[in-house]
Amino acid sequence: MGWIADFGLLISIQNPSWYARWAVLLALTVLLAACASKDEQPAPLDTQETEQLEQVYQEGRAAYLAGRYEDAAGHFARIANADPEHIKARINWGASLSRAGRPLEALDHFQQVLAQEPDNAAAFYNWGAALARLGRHEEALDKFNRARGLGGLDLPPSLQRALDGYLSRHRRADPGNNTE
């Protein structure tokens, strides 16, 4: 009678069905372990990856400022997919999509940011801008007012004037403010 030592177990050659069941069980265990490891958090980015992402981020900003919104969206998407914690990239991805004429797609990005950072004024502001592009002015007003209420929204003067103009044009009628 022969014996085979395999993974510290002694398995009899005379009982091949037991060996086959053991091999299937081992294969299933390995497969389950591999599937479970996919749910783990990705490894932190190393310095070189971080530097590369910063370069891509700057290229995305340059594309955005040049009015190449689709190109900018691609840069910011690359960063957000590589580093889901990169909040600015996700906000700028959404802003780029919105400016490229795809505001409905942009909404999800702002909601994802707010799920991570519920008081992110920039996400509320850009969410409002996307809603305004969709003609959903009541919702946009809510988001813009939330952004302003949170503070820390450092808009360039031209955007601040545009926001003030939008708010004054679309402000809800306040029943307690009758000036007639």
Instruction: Find the Cα–Cα–Cα–Cα dihedral 42, 46, 49, 55, rounded to 10°.
Output: 120
**What is the pTM for the complete model shown?**
0.67
Secondary structure class of 74 (helix, strand, coil): helix
Lowest mean pLDDT among 46-55, 66-75, 102-111: 46-55
Q: Taking residues 37-55, report their average pLDDT.
A: 63
Q: What pLDDT score does 60 carry?
A: 94
DSSP string, 106-167: HHHHHHHHHHH-TT-HHHHHHHHHHHHHTT-HHHHHHHHHHHHHH------HHHHHHHHHHH
Domains and CATH numbers, the chain: 48-170 (1.25.40.10)
Residue 12 to residue 100: CA distance in whole angstroms: 68
Token pair for residue 154? 């450092």
Q: pLDDT tens-digit profile of 149-158? A: 888 777 778 7
CB neighbour list of residue 134: distance below 8 Å, 6 or more residues apart: 103, 104
